[in-house]
Amino acid sequence: MSLLNRFIAWLNAGEPPKKAPAPPPTAPDGEVEVRLHELETKLDRTVQDLADGLINRAQFDNLYRHYQNQRRMIRGLLMEGSGQLPASMAAGESMIIRQRYAAKILAYAVYDNESSVALYTMGDFPMESELVVGFLSGFRSAAAEIMGAGAAKAEAEDGKVLCYVPGQYCTLIVLYSSDPAEVDVRGLRQIHSHFETLNTGLLRQRPIPADKLFFSYDMGLKLSSQKDRQTPSL
């Protein structure tokens, strides 16, 4: 049988021709360079976020280190002439870092400035803590100085941080798992101001009828659960 006849017989048999294996996918031209530029921008933004108080120090340290490591990896790819990004550079890892190192609210309480009596507590608040007792004992002796401070923070030996937000009638004290970002502290000042505005008439009474107060904190301050406090692996 001639070569032509054998080819026709092969076609009639219906056997599909074998295709050559597809080449491995490659990154589009310039993708590595584009990713490098994106990382440079993210590094600059991370620095600015810390300067603006949008992230805390732990978030900054770990995000900055993360982006620097990725930048070194990409520069290595450029030196090797590779056009492919490794699968290890998956998107979304920076969000995990932000969540992992964000300060979590563990508890909070509201104290009357005049009597130092607790009007409201939520969570396991360390009322016997020396940091709390010491702050409350200074209400009367340093009222003017405290009220003009806007907010203050104190770190406990276990790394947790108490944030004090004094108002005209009472003071909000929040226990964080670590040092909060300035944006979180600004949020505390706002929500405490809203609480005093909503309850001005009641807060002027003596003694303050705590059972009639509208505690709007529960609408803005979310306690972290035990699951939230667990540290995910990266």
* CATH assignment of the domain containing 206: 3.30.450.190
What's the CA gap between 13 and 20, in Å, rounded? Answer: 21
Q: Tell me how far the alpha carbon of residue 49 is from its chain's centroid.
A: 12
Residues 140 and 67 in one domain: no
Which tokens is 157 given?
Answer: 């030996």
Q: What average pLDDT does this structure show over 111-131?
A: 79
Residues 109 and 137 in one domain: yes
What's the CA gap between 174 and 165, in Å, rounded? Answer: 8
Per-residue pLDDT at 79: 66
Asked if residue 140 has pLDDT above 80, the reply is no
Q: Which of 66, 101, 136 is the last residue of a domain?
A: 101
List phi, psi (to 5°) of 182.
-60, -30
Segments forming the whole domain that contains residue 123: 105-229
> By three-state DSSP, how is residue 98 classified?
helix
Number of structural domains found in the chain: 2
Distances, alpha carbon 220 to alpha carbons 157, 188, 202, in Å: 27, 9, 21
Residues 93 and 122 in one domain: no
C-alpha dihedral over 143, 222, 97, 152, to 10 degrees? Answer: 0
Q: Which of 101, 118, 139 is the last residue of a domain?
A: 101
Can you count the helices (H) and strands (E) in the chain? 9, 5
> By three-state DSSP, how is residue 207 classified?
coil
Mean pLDDT lowest among 62-71, 153-162, 210-219? 153-162
pLDDT in tens, 150-183: 667 778 767 888 888 888 898 899 999 999 988 8
CB 82 within 8 A of CB 29: no
Asked if residue 61 has pLDDT above 80, the reply is yes
